[in-house]
Chains A and B, each alone.
Chain A
Amino acid sequence: MQRLLILGGGTAGTMVAGKLRRRLDPADWQITVVDHDDDHLYQPGLLFLPFGDIQAQQIVKPRKRFLPDGVDLVIGEIARVDADACTAVLAGGRELRYDQLVIATGVSPRPDQTPGMLGPQWRRSIFDFFTLDGATALKAALKGFDGGRLVVHVTDMPIKCPVAPLEFTFLADAYFRGRGMRNRVEIVFVTPLPGAFTKPIAAERLGTMLDDREIVVEPDFLVERIDADHKTLISYDEREVPFDLLVTVPLNMGADFVARSGLGDELNLVPVDKHTFLSTQYDNIFALGDANNIPTSKAGSVAHFSVEVFADNFVQHIAGKPMTGSFDGHANCFIESGNGKGLLIDFNYDTEPLTGTYPLPIVGPFGLLKENARNHWGKLAFRWIYWHLLLPGRRIPLPANMSMAGKHQPVKEPQS
């Protein structure tokens, strides 16, 4: 009996379990998933929670429910992986041996990495929204906010879903307009990137969305510390952005056990081949989802398309054959823009988000880089798709690799 051990029962880990249970004979392969709790969080829902558009119970469900029969779930903290001994060790000393290991423990926001972020103002005037606690606390803070300067801030890349802070900004604009107090709220978007949009075609199409909403952008701002007493963000080049309410995306890092096991880079991400997700160090370790270092967004969409490519590759790999599937960095996502509208983008390692349409039988096509209500409903419908089709590893009629069908090709080479 061979053993496949999957560390992490989030989006990637759950999908891997579902897809591989179907491909691996239970007589030959035991599959075990380890996570520290039984709460599977639908992370895209966190964006809507602060505005009261979704409730916590709609976005948290037991992990066990999404794992197929024949997959064991072990609840425990992972202390370390001893890759040379092919063993994962849990806190308390329990050892789990493996023949093949999938690391899918994701990334977590680390407010402790920015001096002053965790302090007297944490969850008083400084909030995150990529955690359930943070989003819930922020909901109360927004409700009680009676005007002033709202700063939406990204600490550093990579972050989970790079468009989420922008979406939050658009939704906050709509939220305060809805409450008839937008004229008393100044909204500032602070980013370490050169702008809110950095890809030429998206920037050209979407650049005015911020101006139209009177949102000020502070680009190239890499925060060094937060002065909690004066409620001010301070950058490495000594620029200051004061706030009354700060909604920040803290630095994202992979799990600490990855670092302790000598398997991570400076952000505890596992270096892998960006087309196959095989560890650059060990021939029987893969890292999928946010946990690896591929140059894409940390996003469920990337995890989804990655796992599609990985599942067939894995079967070849354990048969001693070369892996023939090659992931192209494909991701797509709906961008919520407020007032019941949204946009859709679709791109990969080499192709930036383009205009055109995204073909999909029956419900499509969806307009790309175009603001409309259909994209908003697409985003809302996705939560159902996530729980019922995606997580259990059922087939979704979306190609894993990006297709140019429907996209408008730029007339000349994009100057990226």
Chain B
Amino acid sequence: MTVATIAGTPVHVDGEGFLTEYDEWTEALAQHLAAGIGIELTDAHWKALRFLRDDFRTRGETATLRRVSTVGGIPIKELFALFPGKPAKKMAYIAGLPKPHGCV
């Protein structure tokens, strides 16, 4: 775990640049993180990111795409359009949450 300075703010990140402290995230930071991976945040992006942030606060786990779709009401197809290629990973990265993980 290291401390990186993003948009002028020192934050704790892991080896892949995912924020490790929930409370260090800000909306300004999210915009900067998104821009870094070529995404300009629109209202549709924010709806997904806010769902992820709120859901993590109550459950302590990053929501899966299926959960964002079923509970958050944003179709998976749309999530792929908003965060192309790897939506689950990209959303977690921008929302300052741990990335989804496998077992081996």
| Chain A interfacial positions (CB closer than 8 Å to B) | 156-157, 162-163, 166, 193-194, 197-199, 202-203, 206, 220, 222, 224, 236-237, 265-267, 271, 295-297, 331, 335, 345, 347, 353, 413, 415-416
Within 8 A of A (CB), among B69-100: 70-71, 76-77, 79-80, 84-86, 89, 100
Tell me the nearest residue of chain A to B86, going by C-beta.
A220
For A220, give its contact among B15, B59, B85 (CB under 8 Å).
B85
Residues of chain B lying within 8 A (CB to CB) of residue A335: 104
Within 8 A of A (CB), among B48-71: 59, 61, 64-67, 70-71
Is B104 a contact of A415 with CB atoms below 8 Å?
A: no
What are 18 A-B interface contacts by the 8 Å CB criterion? Answer: A157-B64, A157-B102, A193-B102, A194-B89, A194-B102, A198-B101, A198-B102, A198-B104, A203-B104, A206-B104, A222-B80, A236-B79, A266-B67, A271-B59, A295-B61, A296-B103, A331-B103, A353-B103
For A237, give its contact among B59, B64, B80 (CB under 8 Å).
B80
Residues of chain B lying within 8 A (CB to CB) of residue A197: 102, 104
Is A297 a contact of B86 with CB atoms below 8 Å?
A: no
Q: Is the interface of B mostly helix, strand, loop or mixed?
A: loop
- Bound CA–CA A193/B76 (angstroms): 15
Residues of chain B lying within 8 A (CB to CB) of residue A199: 101-104
Residues of chain B lying within 8 A (CB to CB) of residue A156: 64, 66
Is B66 a contact of A267 with CB atoms below 8 Å?
A: yes
| Chain B interfacial positions (CB closer than 8 Å to A) | 1, 14-16, 59, 61, 64-67, 70-71, 76-77, 79-80, 84-86, 89, 100-104
Q: A224-B76, A265-B67 are in contact. Are A347 and B103 (CB under 8 A)?
A: yes
Tell me the nearest residue of chain A to B71, going by C-beta.
A266
Q: A224-B77, A416-B15 are in contact. Are A202 and B59 (CB under 8 A)?
A: no
Is B86 a contact of A194 with CB atoms below 8 Å?
A: yes
Q: Is the interface of A mostly helix, strand, loop or mixed?
A: loop
Given contacts A206-B104, A237-B80, A335-B104, list 8 more A-B pairs with CB under 8 A. A163-B103, A193-B102, A194-B89, A236-B79, A236-B80, A271-B59, A296-B103, A345-B104
- Bound CA–CA A257/B2 (angstroms): 46
For A415, give its contact among B15, B64, B67, B103 (CB under 8 Å).
B15
Tell me the nearest residue of chain A to B100, going by C-beta.
A157
Is A202 a contact of B80 with CB atoms below 8 Å?
A: no
